[in-house]
Structure 1
Amino acid sequence: MVATEYLTVEEIASVMEEVVEKFLIPRFNELGMNATGDWLKNVGGEAEPGKGLIMGLDYTEQLVKGQEPTTVPLPDLKRWAKAKFKLSDNVAASVATRVQRKIKEEGTTWYEKGGSNLLEVLEEQDTINFVNMKLRQYATPRIQEQLIRQLGG
């Protein structure tokens, strides 16, 4: 792993943004999770000193684990149905009512399947290798410069 004292917060944030674009969003799209586009607009990379973060909407947890049986608000489901299936208001309202009943009784499809592998992409070797490579590109020249200074060269 790269020594974080040789990296700026901006560099770490930039790498996290690349991870979102190259790994997380493609996985989200592969899983067919997009409906309204809200999640895509709000997911992104950030950083704190020495730490990269990926931030998203609260319902990311339901995308990962699914929604256990509960009553989901009808307006949310109507909006989802309109966006996901390009339905009119009346048809979307009917679909939303049926989906609400199904989720209340059984949970979402992702819940029934035991969840999704959306966030697992962040722990896959290709992603880890990419992060390490990008961080090394930033840190290596600074580390080399520091060593040259310490060796009196």
Structure 2
Amino acid sequence: MFGKFDHVVILVSDIEAGIRTWAGQIGMTLTHRSDNPQVGLAVAFFKFADNTFIELVAPTRDDSPYAEMLRERGEGLRLLSFQVDDLDVAVAELSGRGVALRGVGTDRVFIEPESASGILIQLWPKDRPHRWQALASAVKTD
């Protein structure tokens, strides 16, 4: 059912500080940046050769749902994403095992943290492209 690891989302309080940490101190290459003003979110991507990636997210305003998450949980791991061969089959198998799921019936399905040792897990169909990756190849980040 599960394929390879797809990506990880890390919540940070300040996107610029997060980029300095992950690019400057740790040495990863910043691939792409974007903003989502509707949600109040700044995002930075660090892509690896195998197309897996780290996604840093930071709230850009106090009423953002991500600002609330930050206040409640602090910075750190927000989500792990794993590829699945078939989303509907994965949902059926996990539901049959009693795993708590969020987003069933949509194209964004997650295993609830209470069913996964406190970690939110996204089920990502292996054939679904990431929209930002097409943009990243056309946008220079420096």
Q: What TM-score does the superposition give when structure 2 sets the normalisation length?
A: 0.24
Rg bigger for which structure? 1
Q: Considering fraction of residues, name the structure with more strand.
A: 2
Q: What TM-score does the superposition give when structure 1 sets the normalisation length?
A: 0.23
Q: Considering fraction of residues, name the structure with more helix.
A: 1
